Each structure stands twice: as structure tokens, then as C-alpha cells.
Structure 1
Amino acid sequence: MDMSNAAWRKSTYSNESGSNCVELAATTSLLAVRDSQAPQAGYLLLTRDQFAHLSAAIKAL
């Protein structure tokens, strides 16, 4: 899927120094996740259910 024209949003949890930044972009049925410091490295496509499970697992750490 081509996400080159996607509207990427940086996480509100990203710190002020610019490190540890995650960006999200949404399509109708999928969410794309990427490292804002290396956007050229690609992105991970997840369904909304998969993203919810990933988010819950990260919060549980």
C-alpha cells in the first residue's frame, strides 16, 4: 500500500528532544505506524484490532 501521501501524526507521547517518536497514519481500514526519525525505513500496517492489541501490550510493559 502506498502511504506516501498519507497524513502522518506524531504521538503526543513523543518527547521534546525528538527521540522515541512514533507516527501514525490512518486509512479506512488500516493504521500505519513508523519511526519518525527514519520514515524511509518503512512502516507497519495493522488492522484497528491489531493496533489495539499492540497498544495494550505496550502499555502493560
Structure 2
Amino acid sequence: MEDNDRAWRRSSYSNQEGGDCVEVAADLHAEAIVPVRDSKVPQGPALRFKAASWALFITELKA
């Protein structure tokens, strides 16, 4: 699936004006890869992380 065809969700820390934030593809477990992009440049490139690495990153952020 192409990144632009995915459903994206914005960080809960984003403001309504679209400030500095990231978006993550909503179908995180459909593939073993998690695309992440800059919400201000949705047509730009997306970083792609292994799902396990992304989950560990989020766990560490919450800790």
C-alpha cells in the first residue's frame, strides 16, 4: 500500500492550527512497517520504522 493511500492519524499533542506534529499511518499492524510523516508536508517523504521498534519508542515516550 502506498503511503498516500493510507489513513493517517495526527499526534494527540497537535493543536488545531496544525503546529509542529507528526502523523502515523492508522493501520499500524497491517504490515510490519510503521510510516511516520510531517503533518505540514503530507505529500513529502515518510519515515518507515519496524513496528516493534516503533512500539518500543512509544513505550519509552510514555515512561
Structure-2-length-normalised TM-score: 0.70
Q: Which 5+ residue runs of structure 2 have no aligned equivalent? A: none
Runs (4 or more) in structure 1 with deviation over 3 Å come to: 53-57
Is 1:39 the counterpart of 2:42? The answer is yes
Which AA in structure 1 matches 2:38?
D
Which amino acid is the alignment partner of residue 39 of structure 2?
S
How far apart, CA to CA, are the structure 2 residues paired with 1:4 and 1:56? 26
Indicate whether 1:18 and 2:11 are aligned. no
Unaligned stretches of 5+ in structure 1?
none
What SS does the corresponding residue of 1:37 show, helix, strand or coil?
A: coil
Instruction: Answer 1 or 2: higher relative contact order, Cα 8 Å, separation at least 6.
Output: 2
Once the two structures are superposed, residues 32-59 of structure 1 have per-residue CA deviations (whole angstroms, 9 ceiling, x without a partner) of 00001011221011111221343356x3
Total equivalences in the alignment? 59
CA distance in structure 1 between the aligned counterparts of 2:31 and 2:43, rounded to whole angstroms:
23
Determine helix, strand or coil for the equivalent of 2:35: strand
Matched-pair contact (CA < 8 Å) for 2:32–2:51: yes
Please give the TM-score of this superposition, normalised by the length of structure 1.
Answer: 0.72
Alignment partners' CA distance in 1, 2:12 and 2:47: 19
